[in-house]
Structures are given as structure tokens and as C-alpha cells.
Amino acid sequence: MDIQKALFDYTLRLGDNALILGHRLSEWCGRGPILEQDIAMTNIALDLIGQARSLLQYAGEIEGKGRTEDDLAFLRDITAYRNVLLVEQPNEDFAFTIVRQFFYDNYSFHFYTALLQSTDETLAAIAEKSLKEVRYHLRYSSEWMIRLGDGTEESNQKMQKALNQMWMYNGELLTMNETDRVLLAAGIGVDLEALKPACEAKLAEILAAATLEMPTGTWMQKGGKEGKHSEHLGFILAEMQYLQRAHPGATW
């Protein structure tokens, strides 16, 4: 794989992660457990969709075929999406949403910190911008992990259940594929393996404070980075892309 192709794939992946998780969170709009959480989740969704916009815009530039960020978001089919499986998982309840968010925030905080050192100036700039926002997201999801885990018996059970069920989607975030290896060698990408100790330490710290038990499963789902998705992504795209598919080029 040449570097240019890997860079497109990589930037697409980062953009798709932010876009799909942002879309998932936006599904809470008007349905949050309380008003403040409704607002918080939609704020985080907005940050993520903003990050996705910068990333997909750059992906379009790298590709050089004149595709805009909107083309990439609204006119690609499911197998062209490069997001990890974690971010397409359904919201289920607030516990699932918080666990999914914490896994993603913990990864993205460490990931973007490392990406600041990228020799690709645009990716480093996007990392610098995103990191400021991710700090607030990680604080938010960490606090809710603790508040609900160390809350009532019922909230603790719901969190433990969400943690156990979501666990198999946590591994893909830090699993290297060919794209990662090509870009790491080029000084552009991040060494995901090297992020593991810090991510695991943060996870252990938060779970201990939340009185939650670390899941023990070792089987991890993967495939999203290569375009192999769960059926959930199809439903997301059907909703997200409907307007542009039905009325190509519509604006308002």
C-alpha cells in the first residue's frame, strides 16, 4: 500500500469514527434522561461532527478526485466506511451510551495526544484542535462512569451489564492494521500498541473508582477499519443519507 492511499484510508477512518459516533449521540437529542444530559450529549455530538468535517474535508483533498466532506459523508456505501465497530453500536440505554463514550474518549484522548507529533501538518493541526474538545468529553464520560457505577444497586448493575456487552468492541480501537503500519513507518501515523499501557491504566483507574469489575473476555471484534460492518451501520446510513440520496445536491 502506498503512503497516499494509506493516508486517505486513515483520515477517512478518523473522520468516520467521529461522524458515526456524533450521529449516534445526536439520536439522544430531545430524549436525554434529563435536560442537562440531553444538552451535554448533543454538544459532544456537535464537536464530533465538527471534527468529522475537518477530517473528511482533508480526506477529500488527499484523494484528489474533487469529493467534498459532504460527498464523503452522504454518498458512500457501507463497505466504504472505515469506522470501528464500537461507534456504530446502538445507544440502548444511558449506561451503554456512557460506556461506549468512555471507551472512545479514553482512546481518542491518548490517540490525539500522540497524533500531535505527526509529520503531516494537517493531521497534527486537527489533533491539536480536537484534543481540547476531547478533554471535556473524557471528563464527562469518566464522571458518569463513576457516578452510575458507584451509584445505586440498579445503576451499578446496568453499568456492569453495558460494560460486559460493549467490551468486545474496545479492542479494535488500538489494533494495528496495514494502514497503521505503513503510516507509522512514514512518521505520520500513531503507534497504537504504544498507547495500550496508558489507556489500560486510565480504564483501571476509572473502573476502580466506579466499583465496576474489569471484564475478562479476550475475544475482540474487528473489521470496521476494513469496511466490514455490523448491520447497525446500514440503518444509520439509511437515516443519515436519505435526503441526499432522494434529492441529490439538495440544500436549504
Q: Under the criterion CB under 8 A, does residue 141 sit at the interface with another protein?
A: no
Q: Under the criterion CB under 8 A, does residue 11 sit at the interface with another protein?
A: no
For residue 181, the minimal CB distance to another protein (Å) is: 27
Q: Under the criterion CB under 8 A, does residue 140 sit at the interface with another protein?
A: yes
For residue 106, the minimal CB distance to another protein (Å) is: 11
Closer to another protein by CB, 43 or 230: give it.
43
Secondary structure of the chain as H, E, C letters: CCHHHHHHHHHHHHHHHHHHHHHHHHCCCCCCCCHHHHHHHHHHHHHHHHHHHHHHHHHHHHHCCCCCHHHHHHCCCHHHCCCCHHHHCCCCCHHHHHHHHHHHHHHHHHHHHHHCCCCCHHHHHHHHHHHHHHHHHHHHHHHHHHHHHCCCHHHHHHHHHHHHHHHHHCHHHHCCCHHHHHHHHCCCCCCHHHHHHHHHHHHHHHHHHCCCCCCCCCCCCCCHHHCCCCHHHHHHHHHHHHHHHHCCCCCC
Q: Under the criterion CB under 8 A, does residue 164 sit at the interface with another protein?
A: no
Q: Under the criterion CB under 8 A, does residue 50 sit at the interface with another protein?
A: yes
Stretch that binds another protein, among 72-80, 126-134, 215-223, 235-243 (CB under 8 A): 126-134
CA distances (Å), 138 to each of 61, 101, 135, in order? 30, 8, 5
Binding track, positions 21-40, relative to another protein; x by CB under 8 A = ---------------xx-xx
Closer to another protein by CB, 132 or 245: give it.
132
For residue 205, the minimal CB distance to another protein (Å) is: 10
Place of cell 489533533: 127
Q: Under the criterion CB under 8 A, does residue 87 sit at the interface with another protein?
A: no
Contact, 164 vs 87, CB < 8 A?
no
Q: Under the criterion CB under 8 A, does residue 47 sit at the interface with another protein?
A: yes
Q: Tell which one of 56, 95, 138, 203 touches another protein (CB under 8 A).
A: 138
Q: Under the criterion CB under 8 A, does residue 142 sit at the interface with another protein?
A: yes
Q: Under the criterion CB under 8 A, does residue 126 sit at the interface with another protein?
A: yes
How many residues lie near another protein (CB under 8 A)? Answer: 30
Residues of this chain that bind another protein (CB under 8 A): 36-37, 39-40, 43-44, 46-51, 53-54, 121, 124-126, 128-133, 135-136, 138-140, 142
